Structures are given as C-alpha cells and as structure tokens.
C-alpha cells in the first residue's frame, strides 16, 4: 500500500458507547470532498505495517471535521488496535472517498419515500445523509430503521432526534424506528426480513413499501442485507441498477 495515497490526520475526540462500540472525530483535509453515504479508507500503523479499513463517514459533507462510528472486533487486525485510540493520536486517511451508497444513484422511481435500514455501525452513512438538507427537501417521507441486539447498542439516538429537528425542521414525514433483537419487550425485536414479511415494519412506519415510490437502502451485516433484499424482492421491489429500481445495499464484511 503506497503511503503517498494517504494524509496523516489528528484525532480530535473519542466517544465510547459500549465496550465494543465507539465513535471518533478527526481533522478533515480541505481536499477530502465526499458525498453523503460514501466511505473513507483509514489506516493505522501496526508495527511497520499499514493496516487499512473502509469506514463510512458519519459527518455531513459540509462539516469541517470527519466523524466515524466503529465496532471493536476482539481479534480484528484493525479494531483491536483502533479501540485504544486517544485524542491527539494520528490516523492515515486515503485522499479520495469511495462508494455508491448515495442518493444520487436513484433516478427512477423519482424520490418520494426513503427507507434507511441499518444494522449496528451500518447506521453511519445514513447519519451523513440526514445531515444534508437536500435529503429532507427531496423526500416526503423518511424512515430510519436501526437494528441492534441490545438497548445499550442504540448509539446516536439523541443525535438522531437533534438531526431531525435541525435538518428536518418543519418536515413532518420523518420516523425513527429502532429494533432491539434481544429484547422481547421492545416494540420491534425480530430481524428485519421477518418484520418486512409479516408487515410489522410497515405498521410501525404507518406506510407501505411500494415498488412505484420507495427507495430502500440497506447497510451493515451481510446476512441482514441478503435476507432483507430477498424479503423486499418478494414484495415486488427491485435492485437499483443504472439509476432504476428501489434497493441499494452496502455490506460491511
Ligand atoms: C464499504 C464499507 C464500509 C464500512 N464502514 C464501517 C463503519 O463505518 N464502521 C465499522 O465499524 N466498520 C465498517 N466497515 C467494516 C470495517 O472496514 C472493518 O471490517 C472493521 O473495522 C473491522 O476491522 P478488523 O480488522 O478489526 O476486523 P476484520 O478482519 O475486518 O473483520 C473481522 C470480522 O469482524 C466482523 N465485523 C467487521 N466489521 C464489523 C462491523 N462494522 N460490525 C460488526 N461486525 C463486524 C465480521 O464478522 C468480520 O468477518 C466497513 C466495511 C466496508 C466494506
């Protein structure tokens, strides 16, 4: 991996949500322009080796800094080291952003209702999209669906409400729908594909998944992404290709 592809950026803050989830903010170089939903490639020196991983940007494209939301994989080459991150540390940032999980990919159907379905850290790109005013002007209805195992893993909930107030000011079509899969007392606690098949997700949203109007984005755990994709296809929705179709996905591993 050629080191010239990277700039060195400084960590400005670290927030730990649980033992296995944390967020960090780092400096953003002026040349690093991205579209909401894209990911950065972040590098960390482990001994002499530069270990690099993809990270969706949480921040708005208009922010002066870059925020990321990370899992800790106990034996993971990257995150077993990244978990010890401290303010003032330096990280490598590849100079260009990547990725096609952006709203610009949708041409047909025209924007009307947007369903953002995340598991765990797959929430990150959707936080960026929701911090872009254009998202709120384009869509009449926005459903943010966030599936985690336990309530403690529901990171960013206050921020989500804050974003909806700030960016969606006066927008009445936003709904935040949490799912807690290991809490049978939670309003929604089944896996997403089940909640789609049995109609509970639509009931919670107060709306229907409609092949004529819905844009549906899936991000996170590949098993969730695959099974949810199938559940949506069974409802007549199609994969978005060359601008046309309802479903766009990003797998994290
Ligand atoms: C396009 C893209 C965007 C990504 N954005 C993010 C992000 O914003 N935040 C983030 O934490 N990760 C993100 N990832 C995953 C990230 O690149 C690394 O896989 C993760 O940081 C773990 O690295 P590792 O070397 O410690 O473990 P790896 O060797 O990379 O992964 C080991 C195993 O850990 C599990 N795992 C990996 N990532 C996650 C995760 N995010 N949540 C739960 N389990 C996981 C999987 O079982 C995987 O096989 C993204 C991946 C892709 C492809």
Name which residue sits closest to atom 46 of ligand 1, judged by CA. 253
DSSP 93-150: EESS-B---SGGG--BSPSSEEEEEEEGGGGHHHHHHHTSHHHHHH-SEEEEEEEESS
Taking the centre of ligand 1 as the mean of its atom positions, its distance from the CA of residue 197, in whole angstroms, is 28
DSSP 152-217: GG-TTHHHHHHHHHHHSTT---EEEEEEETT-TTSS--S-HHHHHHTSHHHHHHTS---TTTEEEE
Does 3-94 match 103-251 in CATH topology? Answer: no
pLDDT for 170 equals: 83
CATH assignment, 3-94? 2.40.30.10
Residues in the ligand 1 pocket, defined by CB under 6 Å: 39, 53-56, 68-71, 73, 76-80, 99, 120-121, 124, 250, 252-253
Q: How far is CA 4 from CA 32, 54, 96, in A?
A: 15, 18, 12
| 178-209 confidence digits (pLDDT tens) | 999 999 999 999 999 999 999 999 999 999 99
Taking the centre of ligand 1 as the mean of its atom positions, its distance from the CA of residue 55, in whole angstroms, is 8
pLDDT for 26 equals: 98
Taking the centre of ligand 1 as the mean of its atom positions, its distance from the CA of residue 76, in whole angstroms, is 9
Residue with tokens 């797959």: 122
For the chain, residues with pLDDT lower than 70 are none
CATH 3.40.50.80 corresponds to the domain 103-251: yes
pLDDT for 12 equals: 98
Residue to probe by mutation, ligand 1, list 37, 84, 252, most atoms within 8 Å of CB = 252
pLDDT for 100 equals: 97
pLDDT for 55 equals: 99
**Sign of torsion over alpha carbons 96, 102, 103, 108:** positive
pLDDT for 1 equals: 72
Domain boundary assignment for the chain: 3-94, 103-251
């Amino acid at each position: 991996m050629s080191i010239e592809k990277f700039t060195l950026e400084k960590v400005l803050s670290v927030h730990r949500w649980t033992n296995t989830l944390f967020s960090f903010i780092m400096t953003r170089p002026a040349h690093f322009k991205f579209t909401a939903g894209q990911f950065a490639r972040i590098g960390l020196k482990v001994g002499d080796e530069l270990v690099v991983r993809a990270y969706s940007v949480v921040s708005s494209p208009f922010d002066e800094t870059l925020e990321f939301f990370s899992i800790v994989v106990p034996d993971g080459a990257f995150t077993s080291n990244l978990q010890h991150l401290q303010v003032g540390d330096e990280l490598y940032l590849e100079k260009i952003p990547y990725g096609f999980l952006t709203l610009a990919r949708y041409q047909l159907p025209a924007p009307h209702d947007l369903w953002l379905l995340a598991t765990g850290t797959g929430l990150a790109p959707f936080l960026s999209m929701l911090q872009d005013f254009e998202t709120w002007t384009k869509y009449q209805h926005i459903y943010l669906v966030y599936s985690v195992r336990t309530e403690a893993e529901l990171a960013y909930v206050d921020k989500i409400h804050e974003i909806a107030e700030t960016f969606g000011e006066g927008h009445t079509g936003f709904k935040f729908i949490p799912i807690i899969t290991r809490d049978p007392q939670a309003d929604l606690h089944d896996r997403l594909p089940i909640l789609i098949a049995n109609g509970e997700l639509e009931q919670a949203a107060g709306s229907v998944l409609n092949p004529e109007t819905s844009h549906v984005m899936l991000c996170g755990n590949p098993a969730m992404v695959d099974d949810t994709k199938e559940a949506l296809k069974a409802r007549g929705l199609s994969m978005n290709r060359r601008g046309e179709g309802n479903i766009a996905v990003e797998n994290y591993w």
